Structure formats: C-alpha cells, structure tokens
Amino acid sequence: MNMIKSNPEQFKKLDTNPNEGPFVMLNLLKFKAQGGAAAYSRYLNEASVFADKVGSKILYLGKPYELLNGSEIWDLVMLVQYPSRKAFLQLINNPEYIKVHKFREEACERAVLYATDPMKFKDLPRK
C-alpha cells in the first residue's frame, strides 16, 4: 500500500505564503520493504543536481532508532533548507526533476513533508 498523498490546499498555502526567506522542509520517510532504500538513494543522487540549482541543502540526514513518543515508525529523517518557497516550487515543477521524482515514488511507502519557518524560543506562546 502506498500512502504518499499530496495536499493540494497546503500547496496553495505554500505558494501564497508571504515569507520569502529560507525555510526548512522536514521529511519523515518510510521505505517500501523491497528496494525502497536503494530507490531513495538513487532519487537523492539524481535529484541533487536540480536541488543544487535552486540553492537547497541537506541540513540533517538521520536514521531514527528509539521511538520515545508516538507510534509511527520511520526509516529516515531529513531536514532540507530551501532559500525560499518559490525556489522549492521551481524545483518540483522542473520537467527534468519530475522525471527523477519517480524514484522517490518507487521508494516510499509513506512520507510526511512539513514546510517550517524558523522561530526563536522567545516567540513561543506563553499561555
């Protein structure tokens, strides 16, 4: 079963978000049992050419182990910084990148992507 599902309403929000600065994309990935990790590795290798062109960079790539809260099991956690939401949209709409994206689809059983904006601790709500 493939649980990769885009959220069109959220893509519209991303496109109209007034923040024009850098943001970080949180990626939580669960690979398919048969060949998923290898397909994702191929995706990263081939997609990096296009990602580099828009100025993105992987900030963190890690293998989750001890699940201390929650129930979702993930195979990979990745934080990717983009210079802007426009740069991200430019990447995912590039026809050459779209051809490479098939390896991600072949790799993932489930995926969660969150576009996040930086904030300071002092900006957390106090009440």
pLDDT in tens, 1-13: 444 567 888 888 9
> 3-class SS at 84?
coil
Mean pLDDT to the nearest integer, 70-92:
96
pLDDT of residue 11: 85
- Residue 17, judged by CB atoms within 10 A of its CB (0-12, 13-18, 19+), counts as middle
pLDDT of residue 4: 55
**Structure tokens that stand for 96 in this block:** 């050459």
Mean pLDDT to the nearest integer, 13-31:
94
Instruction: Look at residue 127 and tell me whether its pLDDT is greater than 80.
Output: no
Q: Cα dist. 47→37, 50, 64, 86, 125 in Å?
A: 15, 5, 23, 17, 38
Fold for 34-117, please state it. Answer: Alpha-Beta Plaits (3.30.70)
102: phi then psi, degrees, rounded to nearest 5 = -60, -30
Name the pTM for this structure. 0.88
pLDDT of residue 124: 82
pLDDT of residue 2: 45
**Structure tokens that stand for 109 in this block:** 């059983």
Mean pLDDT to the nearest integer, 15-42:
95
**What is the domain partition of the chain in residue ranges?**
34-117
pLDDT of residue 5: 62
Mean pLDDT to the nearest integer, 92-100:
95
